[in-house]
């Protein structure tokens, strides 16, 4: 039996989206406590969460964990704005919507950057990064998305990290979707910063971003930040000195986040969570293929976070009818932010089990029958 089998929420649709996710009742209950931001219990909640995240990355001693109030996008903007100096330059890889967002952030905050793109179903190669760096000696930092949830592709971090180490470039990783379900070892990867969001693989409420940052790189970044509220150097030094945020923290979210980390630990940490997600993803992909659907990605490059499927060619099909039919049957699928035309996505994260996916497949088959759709494939 899955660890989360007994913690399902009362009579609510199950979110099959790549964030926010369905939370356990236990995590929700943690938000019912009111604490002032400076109380010892609040400070210990923050300190324990910081220690746990560093442990997940094998980063004790070399790195620090910095929380921010905001979405994962707030975390990515904070990292770009803090780590890339005015005389530096950022190389961004993109093969989807969230890589494109990194480009948009750099452009909007006037961070010097260059970028290159691979197809939505194609991971980049280390040789492409080497070539891009060789073509522009001004590049000081490299950034990419680990799991690009607009398709579900998993981009290869280890060989790219090796290129960055060999060429002396700072590595910034957007792990907003993957953190908590994949191991990102600080000693192996030697990254300058990894960004995660509370509301995905860590299964906490949305509204908190966390950055695991290399201490030496963060110290060199002092004074870089384009923003007061997103200054990671300043936020970190204040936390280390006082145990508190510089500005009013999201106390209820921090309490829930710590409870979600305890659930994560009890499930077996990264390995346990990844295993459950993979079981659910395997059931989903196999079941959809049995119904005639084709996946956008080959299994070898797909993550167990979210799967993307080609839409049916049948003229009776519409995504709106699919969405509404699934919702009536107790499941919410994601309606937007796609990197490939004529596709839709179903995610496997949150307190979702393999049995839940089985029920979702039944609901999807019923909805397709309701639409009168017969032909599932796309040629």
Residue positions forming the annotated binding site: 345
| Signed CA dihedral, 195, 199, 205, 207: sign only | positive
CA separation for the pair 24, 122 (Å, rounded): 35
Question: Helices 72-83 and 232-242 sit at what angle, rounded to 10 degrees?
Answer: 100
**3-state class of 113 per DSSP?**
strand
| Beta strands at 208-214 and 193-197: parallel, antiparallel or unpaired | antiparallel
Question: Helices 251-266 and 40-56 sit at what angle, rounded to 10 degrees?
Answer: 40
CB 81 within 8 A of CB 110: no
Annotated binding site for substrate, which residues?
A: 345
> In the chain, what's the furthest Cα-to-Cα distance?
63
**CA dist 129 → 42, 43, 174, 315 (Å):** 43, 41, 16, 43
Which pair of structure tokens corresponds to residue 115?
A: 């970028």
CA separation for the pair 222, 82 (Å, rounded): 8
Residue carrying structure tokens 């480009």:
103
């Amino acid at each position: 039996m899955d660890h989360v089998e007994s913690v399902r929420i009362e009579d609510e649709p199950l979110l099959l989206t790549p964030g926010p996710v369905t939370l356990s009742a236990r995590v929700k209950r943690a938000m019912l406590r009111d604490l002032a931001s400076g109380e010892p219990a609040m400070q210990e909640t923050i300190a324990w969460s910081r220690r746990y995240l560093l442990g997940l990355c094998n980063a004790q001693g070399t790195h620090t964990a910095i929380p921010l109030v905001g979405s994962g996008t707030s975390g990515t903007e904070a990292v770009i704005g803090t780590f890339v100096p005015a005389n530096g330059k950022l190389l961004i890889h993109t093969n989807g919507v969230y890589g494109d967002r990194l480009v948009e952030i750099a452009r909007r905050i006037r961070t010097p950057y260059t970028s290159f793109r691979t197809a939505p179903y194609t991971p980049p190669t280390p040789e492409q990064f080497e070539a891009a760096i060789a073509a522009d000696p001004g590049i000081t930092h490299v950034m990419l998305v680990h799991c690009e949830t607009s398709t579900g592709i998993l981009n290869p971090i280890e060989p790219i990290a090796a290129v960055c180490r060999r060429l002396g470039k700072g590595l910034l990783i957007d792990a907003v979707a993957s953190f908590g379900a994949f191991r990102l070892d600080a000693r192996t990867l030697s990254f300058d910063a990894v960004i995660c969001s509370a509301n995905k693989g860590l299964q906490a409420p949305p509204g908190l971003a966390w950055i695991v940052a290399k201490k030496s790189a963060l110290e060199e970044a002092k004074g870089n930040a384009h923003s007061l509220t997103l200054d990671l150097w300043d936020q970190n030094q204040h936390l280390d000195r006082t145990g508190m945020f510089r500005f009013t923290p999201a106390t209820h979210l921090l309490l829930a986040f710590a409870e979600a980390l305890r659930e994560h630990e009890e499930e077996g940490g990264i390995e346990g969570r990844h295993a459950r997600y993979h079981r659910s993803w395997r059931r989903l992909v196999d079941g959809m293929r049995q119904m005639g659907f084709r996946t956008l990605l080959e299994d070898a490059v797909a993550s167990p976070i979210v799967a993307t499927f080609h839409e049916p060619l049948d003229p009776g099909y519409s995504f709106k009818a699919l969405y509404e039919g699934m919702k009536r049957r107790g499941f919410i699928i994601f309606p937007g932010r796609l990197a490939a035309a004529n596709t839709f996505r179903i995610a496997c994260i949150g307190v979702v089990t393999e049995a839940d996916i089985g029920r979702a497949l039944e609901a999807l088959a019923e909805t397709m029958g309701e639409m009168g759709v017969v032909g599932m494939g796309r040629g």
